[in-house]
Structure 1
């Protein structure tokens, strides 16, 4: 696993995501989730590609019920993009690398 994806838990969410100076892609996943295993290398690739413009964190859903409930994660894999402490885009379900890239690009090209 690359060093560009940070694994966090409920107690770190505020510091690592809500207080972040740059946009953050939060990847909610579960160890028992087949589609999550397919998405993990794509998320790692996106993190490397956007390293200077986007912070990427991953959060396992089962041990982190507070964040899962707060951000209405109903299925995994799930993605949330945060800017200045607020969710600006949400998606659930696996997607291609191209779709994830488009999901991210839509919020990196615009200003806050």
Structure 2
């Protein structure tokens, strides 16, 4: 009985240390990266919205913001597809009648 100096205990300690050193930094790094990314994304989004609120105030104040975005999506689809079904959808006269 050698206690902690026996080769079995050294092998167990090395296995435990290798598992601990492989698992612990990955958990720590994932937590750190998730916190860092959430903080970075929130700061970036707040700056982006703060800058673009001044350029989008006239559109945000109107009631047809969703319709404007929808019309842009439909025009994008109309440019991509050559079907006659889409060409009847995104007529600009509908949006001009609302004063857009």
**TM interval, short-chain normalised:** under 0.3
Over alpha carbons, which structure has the higher Rg?
A: 2
TM-score (norm 2): 0.24
**Whose RCO is larger (CA < 8 A, sep 6+)?**
1
More helix by share: 2
TM-score (norm 1): 0.22
